[in-house]
Copies of this chain bind each other. A is one copy, B any other.
Amino acid sequence: MTEIRTAAVIGLGLIGGSLARDLAARGVRVLGWDRDARTLRAAVDAGIVDELRAGELPDLAVVAVPVLAVPDVLRRFLPALAAARLVTDAGSTKRTGIAAAEALGIGGRFVGSHPLAGDHRSGWDASRSGLFAGAHVYLSPTSTSSDEARGIVRWLWEAVGARTEWMDAGAHDRLLAWTSHLPQAVSSALAIALARAEVPREALGPGGRDVTRLAGSSPEMWAHVAADNADHLAAALRMAESELRELRLRVEEGDPGRLREWFALARGGGAA
């Protein structure tokens, strides 16, 4: 690995901010940017980043912004990426960033990243060192990602303690619709239903709090993910709707045996 001395982190929220902290702690000079001037100021004042200014040419760049903004941000910062041997993003969907990188002619230096890290909190104030320790990171290459870019992106995430897995962007977006986006949707739908019924959150037991915790996540980020992964997410939502309806029909029917079968399916997580 040729040495990485400077890294740009564009977007200093939970993911970008935490990555900046860990890279800075490893002695990498981090050049930061955020559309919110107060966030950028906070990151500079904390001694974590220097402001990414025109003329700086970082060795790698991470775009950690809501996924629908990735194409615009790549376009806008293209001059600053001239010397970068790796450009990556950190979005929860992978097809859009890859298509944008290829359209901008930087497909060879681009690899998509998706760290499964963080929680329902968001923003620079929620960022912290060690966020990626033990986390799983999906890596999705473009059709032309160079060996060097592939090597650097692995180094990047392993340097902050994560483990990486390569997955084609299409397969990633389909899988994550189920493993991440659908759980988020279900948790959020429950939270809204409780609010409409005027049920105070404090009345929830420990189980109910587990199920609604995700609903506190960033609306901005999830709006982007849901719009960007609409095809796969709509299919997953239909399946969840169908299972809730099936349960309701069995509840209205009132036969404990049929209800037991349904709850047993849920416990087993298998066999129709």
Contacts and interface: CB of A to CB of B under 8 A. Distances in A.
A197 B120 CA distance: 25
Interface string A208-244: 1011111111111011101100100110111111111
Contacts of A264: 219
Interface string A132-165: 0000100000000000000000000000000000
A63 to B, nearest CB: 18
Contacts of A241: 241, 244-245, 248
Contacts of A262: 188, 192, 219, 223
A72 interface: no
A42 interface: no
Taking the full assembly, how many copies of this chain does it contain?
A: 2
B193 A179 contact: no
A82 interface: no
A248 B234 contact: yes
A255 interface: yes
Given A213-B210, A267-B219, A189 B247 contact: yes
A-B interface, 5 closest residue pairs, ranked by CB to CB distance from nearest: A188-B266, A219-B263, A223-B260, A223-B259, A189-B243
Interface of A: 68, 116, 119-120, 136, 175, 178-180, 182-197, 199, 201, 203-208, 210-220, 222-224, 226-227, 230, 233-234, 236-245, 247-248, 250-252, 254-257, 259-272
